[in-house]
Amino acid sequence: MCISETQVRNRSSVRDSSTSDRRLQSTSSHSSVGNFTAKTTSPKRILEKHDSIDARKCLVAQVGLENFIRSITAPLDLTLPNAVRFNMNGNGRMQTWEDVYMAERVYTQCLGISKRIYQMHAFTHEPDRKLAYFILEEHNERTLPFLPGFDFHVLVFTYYNDRNEVTAVDVQYDQLSFFLHCFGLAQLHAWFVEQVITPLTIVWAKAYHNSGLVNPFTFMLQLILFPVLLMYYWGIL
């Protein structure tokens, strides 16, 4: 009796999974993208972009930034002239690869990082825009025993020209999170945000929403008045 009940459950689960698969296929098919309006995009343009994008798996794992950079250019047959516009999260802009490699060596030593293993497991290529982007995974080992090692993820955009030369690189990452990891404070910060900041923020958001005055002007007014009131309470003003 138990066996038959199990078989029935298995058959029903198979039917449910096949039904969900069909639903998933129908929602992800070209016939339905989403019902929305926008000034600069449309379902047709989204589908055209989707069809022109090349997304593929590609494993690259190297120790050191220079080794990694030279390895990731191979899948798209890109070359690396020394001149490049390298944007480091909007806080550093370098013009040559020599400066990029030198800066990476200096700040890793300053932050107590003894070894960095760079990994890439897949990338997205948009030939029409001459753009390839991927998620860079970093494994960081430390020089001092009391500094914890950590893994980090970075979004990298690479642009190239008609000669397949890399012309610009845009690196984007959570800078606060990176430095918190470097100083071993990431877990403490995460606990403080979860246990203290978030509950207070939720209480404020509910009260603000219930007031019926939610708009950019009242929000900016609160940003101005709140620190002023705090300074007045502490006797600074």
pLDDT tens, the chain, 237 aa long: 333 343 434 444 444 544 444 444 434 444 556 666 677 777 788 888 888 888 889 899 999 999 999 999 988 899 999 999 999 988 889 999 999 999 999 989 999 999 999 999 999 999 999 999 999 999 999 998 888 999 999 999 999 999 999 999 999 999 999 999 998 899 999 999 999 999 999 999 999 999 999 999 999 999 999 888 888 888 887
Q: What is the pLDDT of residue 47?
A: 84
Look at residue 194 and tell me if it is in a domain.
Answer: yes
Q: What is the pLDDT of residue 49?
A: 83
Q: What is the pLDDT of residue 29?
A: 46
Look at residue 85 and tell me if it is in a domain.
Answer: yes
Q: If DSSP states are collapsed to H, E and C, what string results for 132-160?
A: EEEEEEEEEEECCCCCCCEEEEEEEEEEE
Q: Tokens 């877990």, residue?
A: 187
Look at residue 46 and tell me if it is in a domain.
Answer: no
CA dist., res. 54 & res. 126, Å (int):
6
Q: State whether 95 and 171 are in the same domain.
A: yes
Q: State whether 216 and 160 are in the same domain.
A: no
Look at residue 106 and tell me if it is in a domain.
Answer: yes
Q: What is the pLDDT of residue 20?
A: 44
What total of structural domains would you count in the chain?
2
In sequence order, the 6+-apart residues with CB closer than 8 A to the CB of 63 are 115, 116, 117, 118
Whole domain around residue 217: which residue ranges?
Answer: 187-233
Look at residue 198 and tell me if it is in a domain.
Answer: yes
Look at residue 58 and tell me if it is in a domain.
Answer: yes
Q: Of 184, 201, 216, which marks where a domain is finished?
A: 184
The residue count for the chain: 237
Q: What is the pLDDT of residue 41?
A: 78
Q: What is the pLDDT of residue 230?
A: 86
Sign of CA dihedral 186, 187, 193, 196: negative
Q: Which strand (E) or helix (H) includes residue 175?
A: helix 175-182
Q: State whether 62 and 143 are in the same domain.
A: yes
Cross-sheet strand order for the sheet of 166-172 = 54-63, 113-126, 131-142, 150-160, 166-172, 83-88, 93-96
Q: What is the pLDDT of residue 7?
A: 41
> Tokens at residue 131, please?
């753009």
Q: What is the pLDDT of residue 35?
A: 63
